[in-house]
Amino acid sequence: MSDVRFVLTTSRGGAAPRPPPPAPEPPPQPARSSRGGCGGAPVGRPLMPVVRVNGVEIEPEAIAQETQNHPGADAQASWEAAARALVVRELLLTDARVRGLTPDPESVGDGRYETPEESLVRQALEAAVEPGEPSDEECRRVYEGLQARFVTPTLFEPAHILIEPGGDDAAAWSEAEAEARAIIELVGDSRPAFAEAAAARSACPTKNQGGSLGQIRRGELVEEVQNAIEALAEGETRAEPVRSRFGWHVVRLERKIPGRALPFEVVHDRIRDMLEARAWAIGAAQYVAELADAAQIEGVQVTPPDAGFGSCADGTGC
């Protein structure tokens, strides 16, 4: 496939006469007057090239609508990503028709079904991509190379006392902080004293459990509280209160349960599914690249999807 490149330009009118009389008022414009004089992109925005696949034009409106699914660094990046996506879609639809496929929409959940074109794209991929099933040896190599990934999550058993400020002003927050510091001074590392203070003074419903938050994983608490808890030793109450959007927290860590390695037999199916998905992605990328190489594409360069997924053994691409 040729390396199609294009230059973006903007519409520019002729220079207005300097001396009076002033230029006459422009005639009223139709509803689409926001577009450039050539009917192209809106005034002040770059003119995008016409995109065609084997002579079939991808409508500019379709590309504009597709850009919402491809956020990019700027409008041009979004446009290019959207144009590529629609070009690939057209390549797949064309191949589906060449193969004589007919729409057979399947359920996608929630009572919804594929559109006829989505069905054709899926069938074309199913017909063209047949990844091999990974062997037990391949799965074992991935397991041995990525053992750190196959562990149970670390669990924490924290407790907290929430002191809410009486208002949004600085004085209210300062008063709440002073109360939290007084509680820390009072309870120290004593679990019974902490539970008693939580029942009497915490603004959180966990006060009824002595402030206990139960077993939690990373990411289940607000970041400030989570970070403070993870820095504590078991049985320790933090010497400083922690501020979050909810107020000031007195935090304590009761117990930490480190993650443990999962046996190969437990994660075998997960690894196999991961390798199958990776093989399918590589096969689909190669299939699309072949279609693109055989097609006449204008207006945008379709870069074949990167098949260089790296080695699962070193953790890249898996």
For residue 304, what pLDDT is reported? 47
What are the two backbone dihedrals, phi and then psi, of residue 235, each rounded to the nearest 5 degrees? 80, 10
216 within 8 A of 156, measured Cβ to Cβ: yes
Q: What is the end-to-end Cα distance of the chain in Å, rounded?
A: 30
Sheet holding 297-298: strands in order across?
A: 56-58, 51-53, 297-298
158 forms bridges with which residues in the sheet?
253
Distances 177 to 128, 162, 236, 312 between C-alpha atoms, Å: 64, 10, 20, 49
For residue 224, what are its two tokens? Answer: 């400030």
Identify the CATH class of 1-6+37-151+263-318.
mainly alpha
Pairing of strands 155-163, 56-58: unpaired
Structure tokens at 66: 């597709």
pTM score, whole prediction: 0.56
For residue 233, the surrounding DSSP H or E stretch is none
Tell me whether strands 56-58 and 51-53 are parallel, antiparallel or unpaired: antiparallel
Torsion of CA 230, 236, 239, 244, to 10 degrees: 40
Q: Where are the domains of the chain?
A: 1-6+37-151+263-318, 155-257
For residue 239, give every residue at least 6 positions away whose Cβ sits within 8 Å of its Cβ, in sequence order, or none: 184
Nearest to 241, CA basis, from 195, 185, 181: 181
How high is the pLDDT of residue 48?
A: 81
Ramachandran region of residue 122, left (φ > 0), alpha (ψ -120 to 50) or beta? Answer: alpha
- Residue 86's SS3 state is helix
Tens digit of pLDDT at every position of the chain (318 positions): 444 333 333 333 334 444 444 444 444 444 443 443 334 444 444 568 899 999 989 999 999 999 999 998 899 999 999 999 999 999 999 999 999 999 999 998 888 999 999 999 999 999 999 888 899 999 999 999 998 889 999 999 999 999 999 999 999 999 999 999 999 999 999 999 999 999 999 999 999 999 999 999 998 999 999 999 999 999 999 999 999 999 999 999 999 999 999 999 999 999 999 999 999 999 999 999 999 999 999 998 886 444 333 444 444 445
Residues contacting residue 38 through CB under 8 Å, at least 6 positions apart: 11, 47
- For domain 155-257, the CATH architecture is Roll (3.10)
In this structure, the dihedral spanned by the alpha carbons of residues 198, 201, 207 and 213, taken in order and rounded to 10 degrees, is -60
* Six-digit token string for 162: 């929430």
CA 5 to CA 301: how far, in whole Å?
7
**Rounded Cα gap, residues 159 and 189, in angstroms:** 12
State the Cα–Cα distance between residues 39 and 33, nearest whole angstrom. Answer: 9
